[in-house]
Amino acid sequence: MATNEILIRSDSTVLIFADATYSPGTNTTLGTRTDDIDVAGLTTGQAREGVKADLGVDHAESYSVDLTTEFATDPVSGETIDLYWCPSHSITAAVGNIGNVTGADADWAGAVGMTLAESLKAMIFIGPAVLSAQNTADGIPVYHVGVFSPGPERWGVLVYHNNTSDTMHSDSVECAVRFRPIIPDIQAAA
């Protein structure tokens, strides 16, 4: 009896959210930057939004998300960097965004009349990067954040929430978020 296998395609376009200064070490690179977000100096409890990104006309149903981050001093082990996705139906930066994000690389304190915590709940939670007590002198860690579905909208904004008791490093040279599409590929029957 002939059977088919469903495998995952690995040749799909990857999105890399990082600052223009992104220049990681050989062992910690997540790829070439495609979309801007600058998290330099992001303080405790603060959030940052990136530019509005385009997932493509036909995009993956789900994405595997990884992160590299850098702190000048040790965060407390178990604290998190939390990532959120703000879907949008419009290519225009400030139009159609949940939580009133602007679609530009900027600090974000939440929607008008709402707290940051309330505003984050309106978005799609990608997941937490659960940190260890590691700073720049210890090396740059790579974290798996999770797998998430961005929904049917073609565009969206990455929101990066520093949910730690430490301020991030003063530059974004080593900081990036990678979205790797998970695309099922049905193989011919054997």
Q: How do the domains of the chain map onto residue ranges?
A: 14-185
* Close Cβ partners of 18 (under 8 Å, ≥ 6 residues apart): 30, 33, 35, 36, 37, 172, 175, 176, 177
Q: What is the DSSP code (8-state) at residue 105? A: S
Q: What is the pLDDT of residue 189?
A: 76
Residues 83-96, mean pLDDT to the nearest whole number? 96
| 106-108 vs 47-49, strand pairing mode | antiparallel
Q: What is the pLDDT of residue 72?
A: 85
* Close Cβ partners of 58 (under 8 Å, ≥ 6 residues apart): none
User: pLDDT tens-digit profile of 17-66?
Assistant: 999 999 998 889 999 999 999 999 999 999 999 999 999 999 999 999 99
8 A C-beta contact, residue 6 and residue 184: yes
Per-residue pLDDT at 190 exceeds 80: no
| CATH no. of 14-185 | 2.60.120
Q: What is the pLDDT of residue 1?
A: 59
Residues 121-132, mean pLDDT to the nearest whole number? 95
Q: What is the pLDDT of residue 146?
A: 96
Per-residue pLDDT at 133 exceeds 90: no
Nearest to 17 by CA among 46, 41, 53: 53
Q: What is the mean pLDDT of the chain?
A: 92
